[in-house]
Structure 1
Amino acid sequence: MQKAVIFDLDGVIFNTEDCWKVGFEIITKKYGLPLDENYRITICGKSEAKIIEELNIMFPTLDAVTYRKEIAYEYVNQIEKGNYHLKEGFFELINELKKKDYKIALATSNLRWRMEKIFSNKGIDPYKIFDVIITVSEIGNRTKPDPYIFLKASEELGADPKQTMVIEDSLNGIEAAVRGNFIPVMDIDLIPPNEYAKKHCYKIVDSLLEVIPLVN
């Protein structure tokens, strides 16, 4: 079986998790909802359908669909403005993986067209980097912490999950990697590791540069 690495997008390759945070803060304040960063952390990586379902329970009178659409609109607005950057060590790690014949996948809870925009705005073609790209556009509601997106990526790579590293910044993503029997590595962005992540992660890093020794 082929050794492989699966990357998340927001918060791992780009600091676009900041864009989600800005959108969340602006729109949540507009709606006057008692939701803070601790709540936002719990929904990172989840599908829109699941988030809306939970919001409908929490706030029965809220138009949850419109609320989430406005957050997504503000997120895209931040992307359009270019208010994000490539995270340290990405290309160095990619080059190392390719030299060692690793298969590489991208597995993101973002929509495909948004994923493409995030890369293209920075002059990068993701289809020249990754062997497989799986987005929420292809998997529907089976998002993290369900391991399905990672299992689908590893299957398309022809890789054994037990020989496949998953690099994630979200707690839902780490749980998905653990549940799928992958090798979870947490790349800290905005979300600090909790006890579950500390217990189950193969490694917790502050930069993708720290992942390079793990694949040598």
Structure 2
Amino acid sequence: MIKGFLFDLDGVIVDTAVFHFQAWRKVAQKLGGDFTEAQNEQLKGISRTDSLKKIIEWTQAEVSVLQFQELQEQKNRWYLDLIGGLGPEDALPGAIEFLRRTYSQGILIALGSASKNAPMVLEKLGVTELFSAVIDGNNVINGKPHPEVFLKGAEALGLEPSECLVFEDSIAGVQAAKQGGMSSVGIGEAETLNANIHFESLGETTPELLAAQF
């Protein structure tokens, strides 16, 4: 029986991919290269550290340990500047209504996101109080597809992994759910995500239907 929902943030509840793209592109250009939208798609669901490692590999730049840290911090500053005006109206279709309905049904809610800025984004969307637990990049050592973020989410809710349903838009996230022994709902392209069930957005389903199905 499903008792808890574990949500990825970006691409499921809100879409800040364009802001990540703009910030990472500045980093790539600073390293003397460029950064495409296709490359940005490859960074979905993985940590800032691992994302920067990929960009350095793509640009073939030589970066010291100190420069690596500075680039991470600079990217985050650019990203935070870009999302400064984020609000509830920027949530993906049906996302906030789905979260509120989930909460009203007594289903526990946790966030499982690679983003260290996740708590701030939830606050800007006005949904912080709906989450019983927030597991983000500050709480985990291993990024997706390792299941750590979702296993910690289940633990924080006091549930077994089999009692949790994961909502993800990335291949790495769906793989993390599977490795953690959890079923998954894919938000986005069915043919690439390979989740248990797929929807274009949270607005296409209800928590009651999903909880009963799994």
Q: Indicate yes or no: 2:132 matched with 1:131.
A: yes
Runs of 4+ in 1 over 6 A off after TM superposition: none
Deviation at 1:136, TM superposition (A): 1.3
Distance 1:157 1:13 in 2: 20
Q: Does structure 1 residue 119 correspond to structure 2 residue 113?
A: no
Q: Distance in 2 between matches of 1:117 and 1:4?
A: 22
Assess if the C-alpha contact under 8 Å between 1:52 and 1:65 holds in 2.
Answer: no
Where 1:13 maps in the other structure, the secondary structure is: coil
- Residue 61 (structure 1) aligned with residue 62 (structure 2): yes
Q: Which residue is 1:203 aligned to?
A: 197
Which structure 1 segments of 5+ residues have no match?
A: none
Between stretches 157-166 and 101-110, larger displacement belongs to 157-166
Structure 2 Cα separation of the partners of residues 209 and 194 of structure 1: 20
CA contact (8 A) 2:166 2:177 kept: yes
Aligned equivalents of 2:112, 2:163: Cα separation in 1: 16
Map 1:121-200 to 2 at 5 A. 121-122=124-125, 124-126=126-128, 128-139=129-140, 141-188=141-188, 192=189, 195=192, 197-198=193-194
Determine the C-alpha separation between the residues in 2 that align with 1:211 and 1:65: 41
Task: Report matched runs for 1:16-27 at 5 Å.
Answer: 16-27=16-27
Give the residue type in structure 2 aligned to 1:177. A
Task: Quote the sequence identity (%).
Answer: 23
Mapped to 2, the partners of 1:30 and 1:72 lie a distance apart of 14
Q: What displacement does 1:142 show?
A: 1.2
The 3-state SS of whatever aligns with 1:109 is coil
Any idea what the Cα deviations from partners look like across 1:18-43, whole Å, max 9, x if unmatched? Answer: 21122123332343325423332222
Letter in 1 for 2:72: R
Match of 2:98 among 93, 97, 105: 93
The 2-side partners of 1:11 and 1:3 are apart by 23
What is the distance in 2 between the residues matched to 1:12 and 1:125? 14
Q: Secondary structure at the match of 2:109?
A: strand
Matched, 1:49 2:52: no
What is the CA–CA distance in structure 1 between the aligned matches of 2:35 and 2:103, rounded to whole Å? 42
| 8 Å CA contact retained: 2:132, 2:157 | yes
| Distance in 1 between residues matched to 2:55 and 2:22, nearest whole Å | 19
For 1:204, the aligned partner's letter is H
- The total of aligned residue pairs comes to 205
Could you list the runs of 5+ residues in structure 2 that have no partner in the other structure?
A: none
Normalised TM-score (structure 2): 0.82
Q: CA 1:153–1:30 in structure 2 vs 1: closer, same or farther (change >3 Å)? A: same
